[in-house]
Structure 1
Amino acid sequence: MEHSGELGDVGRSETPVVEQKPTSGGFLAQMTSNPLFSAGFGLIGVGFGLTILRQGLNLGATALRRRLLVTLEIPSKDKSYLWFLQWMSQQTKKNARHLAVETSYKQHDNGSVSTTFSLVPGPGRHLFRWRGAWISVSRERDGKMMDLTTGSPFETITLTTLSSDRDVFTQLLNEAQKLALAKQEGKTVIYTSWGPEWRPFGMPRKRRLLDSVILDDGVSERIVRDVRDFIGNGKWYNERGIPYRRGYLLYGPPGSGKSSFIQALAGTLEYNICILNLSERGLTDDRLNHLLSNVPERSIMLLEDIDAAFQKRKASDEQGYQSMITFSGLLNALDGVASAEERIVFMTTNHAELLDQALVRPGRIDMKEYLGNATPSQIRRMFLRFYEGRTDLAELFVKKLRGKQVSTAALQGHFVYWKDKPEEAVENTHTLYE
């Protein structure tokens, strides 16, 4: 029995079981073997790699630009802005593809008008070579920001070149300034106020000769002598603690040559003129003080019809409207604590009797000159200026006008009308006073 039992155990066949332990790569292998997973993972990987590469390129390009390139910004409110545009128009006039037009006109004494058109680089990008350096120029307009004084959008010009050529910017601006000043050489620039700053009004005028404005005997000489003495004695004023400024009042009837003489005086002194209208809408005491304290160098400050501003102010006050500029504000701007030094102010009026004595006192108005209707001396000299050598007719012309009130402006108009016809000018003298 036992023997048979042993044989039974030996003869029983059993299949061995092998136990499989899970491996660490089993789950990853199954997931990667999934085609949907493989496709998504690949796309994510490629996208991530491209993003890193793009960021790296951008950072590298930025670093390279910072190291190799240099830029210069010129805003439209900077004085060099117009200088650069005019200069650049000379550099790119043959190759520029984006152009803008600047139109200017001038009205001559005879009433005719001449118009000029200047083509300057327009908004966009421009590339040119100057003195061996390549310069990229970008002119951009800000459509959201406007200059309220002119109604035009603010602009910025950006110049870019290699860092090694950065010195070319200084040379470029110096040349642009010289070109602008060369165009003004022999001319008088007329400035008017645009908001808180002075800007040229139209094209520079050809300097007017002093002897083209014929005043009564000795008047012109006295004013010129006094102005020259003031200009040449700044040290004398400073050593004595006297404010270095001078005020002049030219008064008399309309057409007596007040404004014309100031223009001729500025031309003789090689000065410019800043004209300020005290009746201008929106002019305040603060803005007046700022403008008079920031007059461009070598400029005469001109306040025309000084009496009219405050006559209009009184009229507006009677109607219930508050005037923007006050009389005390004008006085403080002329000689207050904050008033500017090295300043020449000319005022004109047709009615000196309407001016307040606080305005015409020394320190605000230091010299007064009356420019009246034409005197016999003025009539004679004006006739001979238009009809040189006709002394006989000049005396006859003076005789026919003796006792008549005729302005120098009316005389000039008469001579222009009878140009090259002195006999007819004498025969028709009666048209000047009838």
Structure 2
Amino acid sequence: MTISDYISSLADNPYFGAGSGIFALGLGAAMLRRGSQGALILFRRHFMITLEVPCRDKSYQWLLQWITQKGARKTQHLSVETSFHQKDSGHVQTKYDFIPSTGTHIMFYGGNWIKVERTRESHTLDLHMGVPWETVTLTAFGRDKNIYFRMLEEARQLALKSTEGKTIMYTADTNDWKPFGHPRQRRPLSSVVLDEGISERISNDCKEFIQNQKWYSERGIPYRRGYLLHGPPGCGKSSYVTALAGELEYGICLLNMSNRSMDDSRLNGLLNIAPQQTIILLEDIDAAFVSREETDEQKLQYRGLNRVTLSGLLNALDGVASSEGRIVFMTTNYLDRLDPALIRPGRVDLKEFIGHCTRYQLEQMYRRFYDGPDLLDFASRFADNVLKQNRPVSPAQIQGYFMIHKLSDQQKVLDNIADLWKN
């Protein structure tokens, strides 16, 4: 008997036709459907592996770029990210980066097919980033988690390669750090000419600190280091920190203490979650608040400018909740305005005065800008002519003067020294 004959005989059966047979078939179909759903859930639980990457995770953008370049090149559903890069010729190049858009994508990696689902919650915002909440979910056959470890590591290496030889700047955005602008070409440390021995002293101290974490741990000493660069404006304090970050292959976290939205709690949180291998730069620290030794009139002048207190900064720098492995640079034009508690050892471990140009700096800067057979003689004569004026001059003034005369005859550079103080 065939299946069609069997069904026809069931239709002629009075009990089946009365409804009990139809009920039995419906019940069987429901049980079969539920059984298949349970089997699918069981299969996904034991024979498939899923990874969810939220947009707040640092690897989120790395993963999207990696999927585009390595895994899902043939996908037809894309989103665009437009950026601008300045070429060596001075022209600005527009770059379009295509990343997988929201939806489902299929890719092949490590001998395994992987389903990529990018979802966006239009009604849910990431409070830290101020953008719709997004996730990328990866689903693959098998139980080996290493496939995702390898994938994320490749994505990280790809991201690092794009910033190789560059310095990343970060700024505080609400309660997190975000890259500021495009990564910058690393500035050579030798391009910032400080007085003899100062640059080497600071850079050697930083390198010694970075290489001796175990020494600090064994002796129970907090593993952090603070530096203070003080002196007149335009003498290279901030420029040196930028060049030093390039020398150490570190990024820079720019922290504006005078921001009205900054308070003690936010300051402490930002210092504790600063990206790894970065220098935290607090520029013009004297402008953040007044010293406890200032007069009432001076305190009244600064009242209400910000919400950061001195005690809040002191606790953030070396309180019980302060982070480890941190390098902090502070700069100021007025050392006498700083509270003694802020610059004591433990908070500031090395202080250096970055002042107006000395003979050594004048000669070194001249030799960096010009060349020729009589370069040493011209450099010495240039330094003599500047020092004869008995007027202080900053490296910024010297550099600006050289930029004006970059194509001039060297004798003309020597003959127009008075132009240094015109502006």
Range into which the TM-score falls when normalised by the shorter chain: 0.7 to 0.9
- Which of 282-291 and 193-202 deviates more? 193-202
- Residue of structure 2 in register with 1:333 after alignment: 316
Is 2:288–2:306's contact at 8 Å kept on the other side of the alignment? no
Q: CA deviation at 1:130?
A: 1.6
Amino acid corresponding to residue 122 of structure 2 in structure 1: G
Which residue is equivalent to 1:156? 135
Deviation digits for residues 316-348 of structure 1 (CA, Å, limit 9, x no counterpart): 976985843211000111121222233221101
Q: Give the distance between the partners of 2:94 and 2:284, measured in 1 at CA.
A: 30
Q: Which runs of 4+ in 1 moved over 6 A?
A: 38-50, 107-112, 314-320
In the alignment, what sits opposite 1:393?
378
Give matches, 1:47-62, under 5 Å: 54-62=33-41
- Which residue identity is paired with 1:421? S
Instruction: Compare CA radii of gyration and give the structure with the larger one.
Output: 1
Q: Pick from 387, 395, 420 the counterpart of residue 432 of structure 1.
A: 420
Q: Is the Cα contact below 8 Å between 1:104 and 1:202 reproduced in 2? A: no
Mean CA deviation greater in 265-274 or 243-252: 265-274
- The equivalent of 1:344 in structure 2 is 327
SS in 1 for 2:289: helix
Gaps of 5+ in 2: 1-13, 292-296
1:106·1:202 contact (CA, 8 Å) conserved in 2? Answer: no
The alignment-based identity, stated in percent, is 49
Give, in whole Å, the separation in 2 of the partners of 1:404 and 1:132: 72
Separation of aligned partners in 1, 2:266 and 2:113: 43
Offset of residue 428 of structure 1: 4.3
- Are the counterparts in 1 of residues 54 and 134 from structure 2 also a CA contact under 8 Å? yes
Cα distance in structure 1, aligned partners of 2:149 and 2:105: 19
Q: Deviations over 1:378-423 (max 9, x none)?
A: 1221111011233343334334433233321232233234333343
- Corresponding position: 1:305 with 2:292: no
Contact 1:105 1:202 in 2 (8 A): no
Does the alignment pair 1:196 with 2:175? yes
8 Å contact from structure 1 (residues 100, 122) kept in 2: yes
Q: 1:66 to 1:244 in 2, by over 3 A?
A: closer
Distance across 2 between alignment mates of 1:93 and 1:46: 45
The counterpart of 2:191, out of the listed 195, 212, 223, is: 212
Deviation at 1:117, TM superposition (A): 3.3
| CA distance, structure 1, for counterparts of residue 102 and residue 205 of structure 2 | 50
Whether 2:358 is the aligned partner of 1:375: answer: yes
Q: Using the TM superposition, give the Cα deviation of residue 373 of structure 1 relative to its aligned residue in structure 2, in angstroms.
A: 2.2
Query: Which position in structure 1 is the counterpart of 2:408?
Result: 421
TM-score, normalised relative to structure 2: 0.82
Opposite residue 263 of structure 2, the aligned amino acid is T
Structure 1's 381 and 306: CA in aligned 2 closer, same or farther, altered over 3 A?
same
Matches within 5 A, 1:100-179: 100-105=79-84, 115-163=94-142, 166-179=145-158
Give 1:20-39 correspondences, 5 Å limit: none
CA contact under 8 A between 1:405 and 1:433: conserved in structure 2? no
Deviates more, 1:213-222 or 1:185-194: 185-194
1:172, CA displacement in angstroms? 1.1
1:355 CA drift (Å) = 1.1
Q: Distance in 2 between matches of 1:123 and 1:210?
A: 44
Q: Is 1:355 matched up with 2:355?
A: no
Give CA-to-partner distance per residue, 1:236-274, whole Å, 9 cap, x none: 444444333221110122221111111222222233322
Distance 1:213 1:311 in 2: 31
Task: Write the letter of the residue equivalent to 2:105.
Answer: H
1:226 matched to 2:211? The reply is: no
Q: Report how many aligned residue pairs link the two structures.
A: 398
CA RMSD of aligned residues (A): 3.4
Aligned-partner residue type, residue 267 of structure 2: L
- Amino acid paired to 1:146: L
Deviation digits for residues 286-345 of structure 1 (CA, Å, limit 9, x no counterpart): 222222233333322211111112159x99976985843211000111121222233221
Give me the whole-angstrom Cα distance separating, in 1, the residues matched to 2:129 and 2:94. 21
8 A contact 2:119–2:136 mirrored in 1? yes
Shift of 1:141: 1.2
* 1:324 maps to 2:307: yes
Q: Within 2, Cα distance between the matches of 1:119 and 1:80?
A: 17
Deviation of 1:222 after TM superposition, in Å, equals 1.9
Match for residue 397 of structure 2? Answer: 410
368-377 or 326-335, larger mean C-alpha shift: 368-377
| Structure 1 portions without partners, runs of 5+ | 1-31, 33-37
For the residues of structure 1 that align with 2:38 and 2:402, how far apart are their CA atoms? 76
Contact 2:260 2:305 in 1 (8 A): no
Amino acid in structure 1 at the alignment position of 2:369: F
Q: Which residue of 2 aligns with 1:66?
A: 45
Range 360-369 or range 266-275, more displaced: 266-275
Change (3 A) 1:422 1:288: farther
Secondary structure in 2 aligned to 1:325?
coil
Mapped to 2, the partners of 1:306 and 1:45 lie a distance apart of: 81
Cα offsets for 1:71-103 (capped at 9, x unmatched): 110011112112211211212564122222233
Kept in 2: contact 1:99–1:119 (CA 8 A): yes
